Amino acid sequence: MTAPSIHRARRPATALVAVLTACSTLVACGGDSSPRPKEEQPILTKDSVVEVWKDYDKLNNAAMVKSGPPSYDGMAYDVVDIGATLDHDVAVAKVNEVDDAERGTPYTTVSKALYAPVESAGFALSTTAMPRLEKGLEKAKDTQSLSSVVRAGDPATWKKEMTIRVKPSAIPRPLGPGRESTASKADVERARELVTSIHEYWRTSRRPTGIALGPAASPDYVDIRAAFRKSKYDVSSEVLPEGISTTPGAGEALRVVRAQGGLLVLANVRIRSTMISHGTGATITLNGPFLPKIFGSKPLQSARLTWNTTLAIAIPDKGKARVVAEQSAPTTKGSVTPPKRS
């Protein structure tokens, strides 16, 4: 079936196109009249992003049917998701199969704020709410989802790449779509250095000085490693951040936009976590939302797992950068080795 129009770039007549229409005094007096270049259009506008999420819901809710019983096929979401979000879809489908879970119910996404750079950036950031799912949840009104959407494939289609829960009050407000919201190369490199300092902390436990870690100070694998070091068992743990691609494509992401008073960053860092027990009778218990069910919770000799960690970071033009949200989830890539038997 041909994908609906969510996945095609919309360029409504109302899209902002900055065209120099007023001539300068020099031109008016017969000076240089060479044409001025047009500025790039914004990749999305406040109107077009609403349509993107409407079409996303249509395809996502259809994929939800395929990802449920009896097939539990998480890859059904590849028509709407990519990267860390698709990894999460696949992991959840596997857990649901183990639990013999029922099929999910459809929901609606409501567009809130839009952070839209120029078209060539290839992505936009968008905050959204899902009223039906959030109804009755504690403090639901205080949080929204911050997501990156990208155009990927041929023909280019809109897909959700990363998503994380944030408090709207904790992130800077958007600027106007287009050039005003577009980060410079220097902005992107500054963001890259900060994210790199965070995953170096995860690897070495040495806190960086240039950023307030907030929730990134204790993701699951940092807590587990600390617990092992304090235990009576001889257990080693190593976290190896795979880092961020220097030429990120869809799904391998460092997304940076200019916002009011600074930058807003959404980043995905893939982590390889290895935990090995050297002592006789030592037990490694893998905690977390998915691990016990995917990999089992029996005593293990070693566990090698891959995590996706999404970070939302606010970087003010003046003042210290801060992590405003962190979300870690294991993917289905990984292995465990049971204890050796004599």
DSSP code per residue over 125-161: EEEEE-HHHHTT-TTGGG-EEEEEEEEETTTTEEEEE
306 and 233 in one domain? yes
Return the percentage of the chain with pLDDT > 90, whole number.
38
- Provide the CA 162 distance to its chain's centre, in angstroms: 2
DSSP readout, 154-207?
TTTEEEEEEEEEE-GGGSPPB--SSGGGBPPHHHHHHHHHHHHHHHHHHHH-PP
Do 149 and 175 share a domain, yes or no? yes
Q: Which comes out higher in pLDDT, residue 190 or 15?
A: 190
Residue showing tokens 């990749």: 43
What are the residue ranges of helices labelled H in the chain? 25-28, 46-66, 83-99, 131-134, 185-204, 220-230, 291-295
296 three-class SS: coil
Specify whether 167 is located in the same domain as 188.
no
| Same structural domain, 236 and 292 | yes
Specify which of 28-37, 49-58, 141-150 reaches the highest per-range mean pLDDT: 49-58
The per-residue pLDDT for range 300-338, each reduced to its tens digit, is 666 677 778 899 999 999 999 999 999 887 776 666 665
Output 250 or 181, whichever has higher pLDDT.
181
pLDDT of 73-96, one tens digit each?
Answer: 889 999 999 888 888 888 888 877
Give yes or no: residues 195 and 230 share one domain. yes
Task: Please tell me whether residues 53 and 168 are part of one structural domain.
Answer: yes
Residue 307 near residue 331 (C-beta atoms within 8 A): yes
Residue 162 tokens read as: 């990363």
* Cα–Cα–Cα angle for 209, 211, 215, rounded to 5 degrees: 120
Percent of the chain with pLDDT over 70: 64
Kindly tell me if the per-residue pLDDT of 56 is higher than 80.
Answer: yes
326 part of a folded domain: yes
- The answer to whether residues 190 and 175 belong to one domain is no
Q: Where in the sequence is the domain holding 91, given as residue range(s)? A: 5-133+140-179
How many CB atoms are closer than 10 A to CB 179?
16
Categorize the per-residue pLDDT at 160 as very low, low, confident or very high, splitting at 50, 70 and 90.
very high
Within a 10 A sphere around the Cβ of 304, how many other Cβ atoms?
A: 15
Average pLDDT for 35-60: 88
Has residue 262 been placed in a domain?
Answer: yes
Say if residue 45 is in the same domain as residue 144. Answer: yes
- Residue 264 is predicted with a pLDDT of 98
Question: What SS3 class is residue 67?
Answer: coil
What does the pLDDT look like over 278-293, one tens digit per residue?
Answer: 655 555 655 555 566 6
- Look at the chain and report how many structural domains it folds into: 2
- Are 196 and 111 within one domain? no
Which of 9-13, 71-75, 175-179, 243-247 has the highest mean predicted lDDT (pLDDT)? 175-179
Q: Is residue 62 part of a domain?
A: yes
Place of tokens 């907030």: 214
pLDDT single digits (tens) 95-134: 777 777 777 778 899 999 999 999 999 899 999 998 766 6
Question: Would 342 be classed as within a structural domain?
Answer: no
Residue 291 is predicted with a pLDDT of 61
Q: 85 in helix, strand or coil?
A: helix
Q: Tell me the per-residue pLDDT of 190-226, one tens digit each, with 9 for 90 and over.
A: 998 999 898 888 878 889 998 999 999 987 666 666 6
- What whole-number distance in Å separates Cα of residue 324 and Cα of residue 212? 9
Residues 6+ apart with CB under 8 A from 169: 142
Q: Residue 109 is which amino acid?
A: T
Same domain? For 172 and 225 the reply is no
* Average pLDDT of the chain to the nearest whole number: 76
- Give 96-99 contacts, CB < 8 A, sequence gap 24+: 96/67, 96/68, 96/72, 97/72, 98/293, 98/294, 99/293
Residue 144 located in a structural domain: yes
Give the pLDDT confidence score for residue 20 in this predicted structure. Answer: 28
For CA atoms 177, 158, 92, 276, the dihedral sign is negative
Q: Supply φ then ψ for residue 337, to 5 degrees.
A: -120, 120
pLDDT at site 3: 36
As a whole number, mean pLDDT of residues 241-263 equals 72
Domain harbouring 190, CATH code:
3.10.450
Residues 76 and 171 in one domain: yes
Name the pLDDT band for 44 (thresholds 50, 70, 90): very high
Which of 193, 165, 217 has its CA nearest to residue 323?
A: 217
pLDDT higher than threshold 90 for residue 52: yes
Residues 20 and 58 in one domain: yes
The one-letter code for the residue type at 331 is: T
